[in-house]
Chain A
């Protein structure tokens, strides 16, 4: 542990070469305890996990061992072969690698160290990559994907044989994703290629440090752990909730009401980062800020769908402190240390503690000064959530998701990559894979099935033997059957699978008969969003209002439009509400004494609800039914997060369909679920034709779940991801790039075929596992169903209730599986007859 005796001055002298001590002194610094501790541990050959809040000098600490080692190593003599890289730094973000290079260059230049630092990312030109292979730098800063590419190349052995240190930044954010799983396999490979390299993991505070400690080291040995060095947290952040006289909206995520107040805060501070949860939110806020920007302050926008050039310009401006505010999504989430940010505004509810802490850490990047942050709830439920978070002293809490087991799709990709580098022995390779923490429980049979999948698709019907991608050689080792396989692997590599996206191109004149080829590319937008638009609809993107003109091939054409956009493009936050917060919100709702802490308008809203309907008790589930327009609505308030609600919605509509209620659709938010039907559900309940206890019975997680999954688009989307990552469906093909659209079609078809003909196929297993923990959140739903057993309160209403207003405004477009689709077709077909009759 880190709480050992302080390192004495003598010891520090022994650990730090003179040049370093002088440098620290010249800057007026003393080496920090954790920096020396890290030097000491790594000096003993130990791998280390460093947990520190942002601003603790984590990065320098992480590099100190390699800088010292490099500064003191013998110079390469003339004629001696080129050395491989000495230190590999891996960060989840390209921008972070670039940022670190700048930070590293300062000490290297000032100490006049003969150390070459280079970055290698997807943006690195090919001639530079080529040169890096021939003349490897001492320190290479890169991403998990680039590492996968490097270890899959034929010269990996030479490139990595001198590797001493692997520095893994933002480890907490990497390990929970498929990228992290691929990286863990890459790390296992590096441990075979190099001679006992030392791993140094840098992480923010996490709930289970031991998981990360295991992750960093070879798991072949029972319960192997990396050492742990912890830096205690810095000053407590000052967090407040935005106070405003303006009306807080019922629903939505636009935070339009808060814009003037946000602008005032920007004016009061040097540099403000405004974090939002989604791209479209960023768009909307950016645009509205410009509306009120009377002082023409430099305010910029940064999100992942924007054109790369545009993003780089913003990053440059940020570096040089020439911006007053930047509106950003998670592309700026991680430890980028930019400029003098003195305020973080978080728009939308926190959803989870760790993310919030991370984002707040952006301001005042010095440990001893408190960070300043303002939460801006976008709607009334979010006010409750923010309030609950603050009252529970929540920001200190930790709720990082558990790490989970490694995906088989990721493993399949790695197996092919392994074969691309050189022939492998299945037993040896199995042992190597098991040395990676996420795969330490992988059984041999499953591993062999994955290898078989990589070879010929792993089908029971063995008709593809002659087309195998990898084959056994005479000595039993596996190798790729053709060099083109390696080329294909390189093009399909990676674990990030984008939604099907279309490029958005701005054209001048919509009336020109053929869409001109020219026009500026503005970035990419999800296809499902564009599909809902009709020509003439307007929407926000890239900081402006655009008029949708049409889709041609894989591009959406738009023109500039005046005024406000008609169509909000928000499709729900990406991060579901954490269990802890959900329970706090329910508690606050159930206890009128706590409403005093809420803004009047919110407290009034809750009182109105109490008047018109009821308020759910902390452990109850409130269900309301009411008619509205030509539909009937059933609204439930589980507060279990959007993913679990979505699954619940899917299952409920299935059951309602069977019970004859003719459900048409549902919409789920973090707090609420609404289903709308053709028949009057309230009446069905009154007349005893439908029992809510039966409807919400836990048995829905049995057969209903199983049969729903057969046709679920969520499952199909999960399958598509697995299919692409595992290499079953190609991401791209040499000379012919597939659009997301084409991939979607074929992955869906493949899913259907597999389910019917080979339900035990390994990729369906992988999909199921992913879906259960990911998009479906079945675990949470199951807990909820058992909690509410016998605790359902039904309120049959004649009108919509106050609490239901937010969800009714969110009514979206979820699919109801099954016969209802045919029902809609028959409805449309009838319209045809009316039209034919001239009605």
Chain B
């Protein structure tokens, strides 16, 4: 199989318009701005395992590795010149400091040769300890503004809420993480491997979107499925 066929084998990922800017929704849960070559990922929650372990709950210590593997794949796919990590990059402020060396090195490998922005989140309000990249509270780019906590502003790309959506089709329920948008703003899915979802119809999302224009871009195996707000179930 040649390289061309390989690329073709992956179904087209939808490009949608948010506040007049084209953004591509990747089925991994990352967002790509092709023109600027910027990749955005949100809510990585790295070192969540060790954060729990500190409190005596030993969830598997593999989530950091898995998240990095996913990140490596999507970065290899788009080769962005800049990456924005949209907050809650680490599960807590001490996360970067606790990160085992094997993972730190892989992360540094990903960061090298490109700009890297750590948007601060509620889990990680301080810049990650001992890692390069620029720590910012928010970032503006054209009509878009990137911040962790959604405020509902037009052009806003946010994370924090881990949106998920549920449909019932042919009597069966399907639940997936999703990009939630009404065309003017977007809440991104959590990219981290050990993160749950919160239904977009939950009241935490109340007032963020024009309800009648809400579309959930639900993440399939290799494809993103746009689902009309009217079909969503709580």
B173 touches A813 (CB 8 A): yes
- Residue of A730, A822, A836 near B57 (CB, 8 A) is A730
B56 touches A488 (CB 8 A): yes
**Binding stretch for chain A, among B73-81, B117-125, B216-224:** B216-224
Q: How far is the CA of A3 from the CA of B124 in the complex (A)?
A: 74
Q: How far is the CA of A478 from the CA of B196 in the complex (A)?
A: 35
Given A467-B53, A816-B172, A825-B227, decide whether A757 and B167 contact each other with a Cβ distance below 8 A: no
B60 touches A664 (CB 8 A): no
Q: How far is the CA of A457 from the CA of B231 in the complex (A)?
A: 41
* Chain B residues closer than 8 Å to A733, beta-carbon distance: 55
How many residues of chain B have a CB within 8 Å of chain A?
45
B59 touches A824 (CB 8 A): no
**Binding stretch for chain A, among B33-41, B61-69, B87-95:** B61-69
* Chain A residues closer than 8 Å to B228, beta-carbon distance: 831-832, 835-836
A729 touches B196 (CB 8 A): no
* Chain B residues closer than 8 Å to A831, beta-carbon distance: 228, 231
Given A728-B57, A753-B62, A825-B225, decide whether A664 and B170 contact each other with a Cβ distance below 8 A: yes
Q: Chain B nearest CB: distance from A219 CB in Å?
A: 31
**Contact-residue bracket for chain A:** 35 or more
Q: Chain A nearest CB: distance from B173 CB in Å?
A: 7
Is A484 in the interface zone, CB < 8 Å from B?
yes
B58 touches A665 (CB 8 A): no
- Residue of B49, B58, B227 near A832 (CB, 8 A) is B227
- Residue of A458, A467, A745, A756 near B54 (CB, 8 A) is A467
* Chain A residues closer than 8 Å to B231, beta-carbon distance: 828, 831-832
Is B140 in the interface zone, CB < 8 Å from A?
no
- Residue of A534, A749, A819 near B221 (CB, 8 A) is A819
Is B233 in the interface zone, CB < 8 Å from A?
yes
A824 touches B61 (CB 8 A): no
Q: How far is the CA of A484 from the CA of B57 in the complex (A)?
A: 12
Q: Chain A nearest CB: distance from B230 CB in Å?
A: 7
B171 touches A665 (CB 8 A): yes
Is B226 in the interface zone, CB < 8 Å from A?
yes
Is B135 in the interface zone, CB < 8 Å from A?
no
B56 touches A456 (CB 8 A): no
Q: Chain A nearest CB: distance from B171 CB in Å?
A: 6
A753 touches B221 (CB 8 A): no
Q: Chain A nearest CB: distance from B24 CB in Å?
A: 17
Is A124 in the interface zone, CB < 8 Å from B?
no
* Chain A residues closer than 8 Å to B55, beta-carbon distance: 733
B172 touches A824 (CB 8 A): yes
B53 touches A757 (CB 8 A): no
User: Nearest chain-B residue to A530 (Cβ)?
Assistant: B234
- Residue of B53, B54, B100, B169 near A457 (CB, 8 A) is B53
Q: How far is the CA of A740 from the CA of B227 in the complex (A)?
A: 28
Q: Chain B nearest CB: distance from A202 CB in Å?
A: 39
- Residue of A453, A534, A665 near B172 (CB, 8 A) is A665
Is A149 in the interface zone, CB < 8 Å from B?
no
Is A608 in the interface zone, CB < 8 Å from B?
no
Scoring B59, B167, B171, B218 by chain A CB atoms within 10 A of each residue's CB, the highest score goes to B59
The residues in A between 456 and 491 inclusive whose CB is less than 8 angstroms from any CB of B are: 456-459, 461, 463-464, 467, 469, 482, 484-485, 488
Q: How far is the CA of A754 from the CA of B218 in the complex (A)?
A: 25
A828 touches B100 (CB 8 A): no
* Chain B residues closer than 8 Å to A824, beta-carbon distance: 167, 169-170, 172, 174
A753 touches B196 (CB 8 A): no
B60 touches A665 (CB 8 A): no
Q: How far is the CA of A485 from the CA of B50 in the complex (A)?
A: 17
Given A745-B196, A753-B193, A829-B226, decide whether A457 and B58 contact each other with a Cβ distance below 8 A: yes
- Residue of A750, A813, A822 near B223 (CB, 8 A) is A822
Is B197 in the interface zone, CB < 8 Å from A?
yes
A552 touches B203 (CB 8 A): yes
Is A532 in the interface zone, CB < 8 Å from B?
yes
The residues in A between 809 and 831 inclusive whose CB is less than 8 angstroms from any CB of B are: 811, 813, 815-816, 819, 821-822, 824-829, 831
* Chain B residues closer than 8 Å to A816, beta-carbon distance: 172
- Chain B positions 196 through 221: 1 when the CB is less than 8 Å from some CB of chain A, otherwise 0: 11000001000000000001001011
B58 touches A828 (CB 8 A): no
Q: Chain B nearest CB: distance from A761 CB in Å?
A: 8
Is B70 in the interface zone, CB < 8 Å from A?
no
User: Nearest chain-A residue to B233 (Cβ)?
Assistant: A534
Is A396 in the interface zone, CB < 8 Å from B?
no
B174 touches A821 (CB 8 A): yes
* Chain A residues closer than 8 Å to B221, beta-carbon distance: 819, 822
Is A448 in the interface zone, CB < 8 Å from B?
no
Given A461-B62, A753-B62, A816-B172, decide whether A828 and B167 contact each other with a Cβ distance below 8 A: yes
- Residue of A463, A484, A552, A835 near B56 (CB, 8 A) is A484
Is B104 in the interface zone, CB < 8 Å from A?
no
User: Nearest chain-A residue to B14 (Cβ)?
Assistant: A829
Q: How far is the CA of A761 from the CA of B59 in the complex (A)?
A: 12
Is A550 in the interface zone, CB < 8 Å from B?
yes
Q: How far is the CA of A827 from the CA of B176 in the complex (A)?
A: 15
Q: Chain A nearest CB: distance from B119 CB in Å?
A: 24
A664 touches B50 (CB 8 A): no
Is B15 in the interface zone, CB < 8 Å from A?
no
Is B23 in the interface zone, CB < 8 Å from A?
no
Q: How far is the CA of A746 from the CA of B169 in the complex (A)?
A: 25
Given A551-B234, A728-B58, decide whether A828 and B225 contact each other with a Cβ distance below 8 A: yes
Q: Chain A nearest CB: distance from B94 CB in Å?
A: 12
Is B82 in the interface zone, CB < 8 Å from A?
no
Is B194 in the interface zone, CB < 8 Å from A?
yes
Q: How far is the CA of A551 from the CA of B65 in the complex (A)?
A: 36
A753 touches B66 (CB 8 A): yes
* Chain B residues closer than 8 Å to A488, beta-carbon distance: 56
Scoring B61, B176, B197 by chain A CB atoms within 10 A of each residue's CB, the highest score goes to B61
* Chain B residues closer than 8 Å to A484, beta-carbon distance: 56
Q: How far is the CA of A299 from the CA of B163 in the complex (A)?
A: 47
* Chain B residues closer than 8 Å to A827, beta-carbon distance: 169-170
* Chain B residues closer than 8 Å to A729, beta-carbon distance: 57, 59
Is A742 in the interface zone, CB < 8 Å from B?
yes
- Chain A positions 676 through 703: 1 when the CB is less than 8 Å from some CB of chain B, otherwise 0: 0000000000000000000000000000
* Chain A residues closer than 8 Å to B171, beta-carbon distance: 665, 811, 813
* Chain A residues closer than 8 Å to B234, beta-carbon distance: 550-551
A828 touches B60 (CB 8 A): no
Given A467-B53, A665-B171, A828-B169, decide whether A457 and B61 contact each other with a Cβ distance below 8 A: yes
- Residue of A757, A821, A822 near B60 (CB, 8 A) is A757
Q: Chain A nearest CB: distance from B123 CB in Å?
A: 16
Q: How far is the CA of A746 from the CA of B59 in the complex (A)?
A: 9
Is A246 in the interface zone, CB < 8 Å from B?
no
* Chain A residues closer than 8 Å to B50, beta-carbon distance: 463-464, 467
Q: How far is the CA of A480 from the CA of B230 in the complex (A)?
A: 53
* Chain B residues closer than 8 Å to A550, beta-carbon distance: 234
User: Nearest chain-B residue to A821 (Cβ)?
Assistant: B174
Q: Chain A nearest CB: distance from B62 CB in Å?
A: 4
Given A665-B172, A822-B220, decide whether A485 and B167 contact each other with a Cβ distance below 8 A: no
A463 touches B61 (CB 8 A): yes
Given A827-B169, A831-B228, decide whether A467 and B56 contact each other with a Cβ distance below 8 A: yes
Q: Chain A nearest CB: distance from B83 CB in Å?
A: 24
User: Nearest chain-A residue to B215 (Cβ)?
Assistant: A832
* Chain B residues closer than 8 Å to A456, beta-carbon distance: 53, 58
User: Nearest chain-A residue to B62 (Cβ)?
Assistant: A757
- Chain A positions 565 through 593: 1 when the CB is less than 8 Å from some CB of chain B, otherwise 0: 00000000000000000000000000000
- Chain A positions 715 through 744: 1 when the CB is less than 8 Å from some CB of chain B, otherwise 0: 000000000000011100100000000100
What are 5 residue pairs bridging A and B, where the CB atoms are less than 8 Å apart in the complex?
A: A469-B58, A482-B56, A485-B56, A750-B60, A835-B228
Given contacts A665-B172, A750-B59, 18 further A-B contacts (CB under 8 A): A463-B53, A463-B100, A464-B49, A464-B53, A467-B54, A484-B56, A729-B57, A745-B197, A815-B172, A825-B169, A825-B225, A826-B225, A827-B170, A828-B167, A828-B227, A829-B225, A831-B228, A836-B228
Please list the 7 inter-chain residue pairs (A to B) with the smallest Cβ-Cβ separation, ordered nearest first. Answer: A457-B58, A745-B196, A467-B53, A824-B169, A825-B225, A757-B62, A829-B225
